[in-house]
Amino acid sequence: MSMLNKVCLITGASSGIGKETALALAAQGAELFLLCRNAQKGEAVLAEIAAQSPECRATLLLGDLASQQDIRRVAQNFLDTDKPLHLLLNNAGVMNTKRKVTAEGIEETFAVNHLAYFLLTNLLLERIKQSAPARIVSVASEAHAFVKGVQFNDIEYKTTPYKIFKVYGHSKLCNILWTRSLSQKLAGTGVTVNCVHPGAVATHLGHQDNALLGKIVGGITKLFFKTPEQGAQTSIFVATSPSLDNVSGEYFANCKLGKIKPWAKDDVAAERLWKISEEYLKIA
């Protein structure tokens, strides 16, 4: 779809594939709202957008997706603009080397990578539907293959040994299942919902709680992984391609339909996850 004058909200746009996606959409004429946690990094992205696409209108929204209070505030800040919302790109994510909890006491990877997507989208959903045709795109991952299904008996890894890739993969499985459920609920509204696997990308993911490890891993991954610009291509494709006007509930990798594990197609588990998420967020 043409992005000229389309309004887009992108989370995690201060670096990595979120930033590269923002730059690409700005170049296509979109108006951007960038949800970032770090003001300095967010302002730097705004400056880069202004330099590359001077006609682009871009607004910084400051908030921490680990905080439900912040998510609600930021969502309301956007709604108060009375602008339409043609594209919501849930991009932000964390990968922690050890178990951490949010201010609400929820395991952080699950909270940021899944519950934040769920809550922010829910809060903006009526505006998105009013703006149809519109799209919701969420960054998932092939890492969903690291688990064999949603661990409903210990969804926050309170007693299960905390293994970084397994916990991350579990949250990304939640993204895919939630996308399937949401697409079914939005059938006929003119809003499509899809998720993407960006590929193995050299970004700051995993650097949040261990700077030294991040530098070591970052140096290695730059040699073999995609650049953030390359990694953003599937997000950009799913957000803008006219060929996907009526495609919803799917998973994309390398700018084409991707393969997912059988447990990522479990609609019963998806509906159970939906109800549990509502309980966490008190939005049922």
The C-alpha atoms of residue 91 and residue 210 are separated, in whole angstroms, by 21
How long, in residues, is the chain?
A: 284
The residue type of 283 is I
The C-alpha atoms of residue 234 and residue 200 are separated, in whole angstroms, by 12
Question: What DSSP line would sit under 166-177, residue for residue?
Answer: HHHHHHHHHHHH
CB atoms under 10 Å from CB of 153, counted, come to 7
The answer to whether 162 touches 106, Cβ cutoff 8 Å, is no
The C-alpha atoms of residue 89 and residue 80 are separated, in whole angstroms, by 19
Structure tokens at 195: 């998720």
Q: Examine the residue annotation and report whether 157 is marked as an active-site residue of this protein.
A: no
Radius of gyration for the chain, computed over Cα atoms and rounded to the nearest angstrom: 17
Query: Within the chain, where are the H helices?
Result: 16-27, 39-52, 68-79, 108-110, 116-130, 164-185, 211-224, 228-231, 233-240, 267-281
Pairing relationship of beta strands 256-257 and 251-253 according to DSSP bridges: antiparallel
Catalytic pick from 117, 157, 162, 168? 168
The C-alpha atoms of residue 172 and residue 142 are separated, in whole angstroms, by 8
The answer to whether 171 touches 109, Cβ cutoff 8 Å, is yes
The C-alpha atoms of residue 92 and residue 51 are separated, in whole angstroms, by 24
CB atoms under 10 Å from CB of 279, counted, come to 10
- Give catalytic residue positions: 168
